[in-house]
Amino acid sequence: MLKVTLKKIAATLGVSTATVSKALKDYPDISEKTKKKVKSLAASLNYKPNSFAQSLRNQESKIIGLIIPTIVHHFFSNIIYGVIDSASEHGYLVITLQSNESYEDEKNKINLLIEKNVDGILLSLSDKTVNYKHINRLIDDGVPVVLYDKISRSVNCSKVIINDFAAAFNATQYLIDTGCKKIAHIRGPLKPQTTIDRFMGYKKALEVNNILFDDSLVYVSDSLSFENGYNIAPKIINDHTDVDAIFSFTDLVATGVLIRFKELGILVPEQISIIGFSNWFLSKITSPTLSTVDQPGYEMGRKAFTLLYNELNQIRNGEPIKHEIVEIATKVIPRNSTKPI
């Protein structure tokens, strides 16, 4: 493909590159006649501005970076989808990278993105990240960052979150409303704020309903996996013969519990109710179907990009940057792994 440049157009038309550039951009100081001439030639030659040259001049790439802990994951897929969709609408493209829930990877991937001069970064903290220097440095350097889902209160930037505390409270309250009295909780990795908040919400619901919190009813799943649920299930019923409900921090683990219970001949929800979290697609498929809390990934992705976009515009206009924290609504989705109210 012999490339069409401003220079070439200018040459064939016998005008300057400056004129061509301005004509193409509808500058008011170019005559209509020239504009028409330039535009029609550009169109017929299928002229495409060289994005490197533009970026070099304008100091912006119109590309943003998206760091995802795990790509193959129903919730995060929806995030990716939402981000890409929203970005496209505003003329931005998205480079996606995976942190593998690793602090080192997270740092490295951020660097790759910075080296490519992305205009901003969307980031969900890895489960292992406890130190936020790498992110604060970014922000200090003027790179807009928006944290989504797994965030840290101690980073000062825009964020898109759900109210994990309230969502977990509601899920637990729902179990109580269906008559459950001894509710176990499978919590996630200890560090992320999301799993801490879900745990706190669970605890609060017990308290409000005058149910004594029992530490031994809390089980930790160090990762998001089906197997973890599968393995924790028998422990729960061995430790507590009278457990009548389980609130799991995520659907995948809840599904593992469900399947194991079926193998063990434990009836769900007759003997034990189960409620998950996230409303993964698979929660509609299990048998019984899994009650859960809807966590709208697509919408979170869209919103995360929007916040970044706003900051990008503020920067472009020389306005002060306003960080915004947006909370996306969640709701309990009753299905058949819990009893009717």
Of the candidate spans 35-43, 135-143, 185-193, 234-242, the one that interacts with a copy of itself by CB under 8 A turns out to be 135-143
Beta partners for residue 123, in sequence order: 67, 147
Please answer whether residues 64 and 305 qualify as being in contact, where contact means their C-beta atoms are separated by less than 8 angstroms: yes
Give min distance, CB of 6 to DNA, in A: 3
- For the record, the structure tokens of 82 come out as 């939402």
Of the candidate spans 28-36, 53-61, 231-239, 331-339, the one that interacts with a copy of itself by CB under 8 A turns out to be 53-61
Binding of DNA at residue 329 (CB under 7 A)? no
Question: Residue 328: in which H helix or E strand, if any?
Answer: strand 325-328
Distance between CA atoms of residues 255 and 227, nearest Å: 9
Binding of a copy of itself at residue 89 (CB under 8 A)? no
Please answer whether residues 127 and 69 qualify as being in contact, where contact means their C-beta atoms are separated by less than 8 angstroms: yes
String of contacts with DNA for each residue 53-82, x by CB under 7 A: xx-xxx------------------------
State phi, psi for 276 to the nearest 5 degrees: -105, -155
Distance between CA atoms of residues 79 and 33, nearest Å: 47
Please answer whether residues 254 and 185 qualify as being in contact, where contact means their C-beta atoms are separated by less than 8 angstroms: no
Hey, what amino acid is at 279? N
Helix (H, G, I), strand (E, B) or coil at 75: helix
Binding of a copy of itself at residue 98 (CB under 8 A)? yes
Strands 245-248 and 218-220 come out as unpaired
- Give alpha helix (H) positions in the chain: 6-13, 17-24, 32-44, 51-58, 74-89, 103-115, 133-140, 164-177, 193-208, 226-239, 251-264, 297-316
- Of 88, 131, 271, 313, which one interacts with a copy of itself (CB under 8 A)? 88
Of the candidate spans 17-25, 61-69, 175-183, 213-221, the one that interacts with DNA by CB under 7 A turns out to be 17-25
Binding of a copy of itself at residue 114 (CB under 8 A)? yes
Which residue, 25 or 284, is less far from a copy of itself as judged by CB?
284
Binding of a copy of itself at residue 73 (CB under 8 A)? yes
Of the candidate spans 42-50, 182-190, 252-260, 304-312, the one that interacts with DNA by CB under 7 A turns out to be 42-50
| Binder of residue 98, out of a copy of itself, DNA, none (CB less than 5 to 8 A by kind) | a copy of itself
Of the candidate spans 107-115, 175-183, 201-209, 315-323, the one that interacts with a copy of itself by CB under 8 A turns out to be 107-115
Binding site for a copy of itself (CB under 8 A): 1, 48-53, 55-56, 61-63, 71-74, 77-78, 80-81, 84-85, 88, 93-98, 112-117, 140-143, 226, 255, 259, 262, 281-282, 284-287, 298
Residue ranges binding DNA (CB under 7 A): 3, 5-7, 14-19, 21-22, 24-25, 27-34, 47, 49-50, 53-54, 56-58
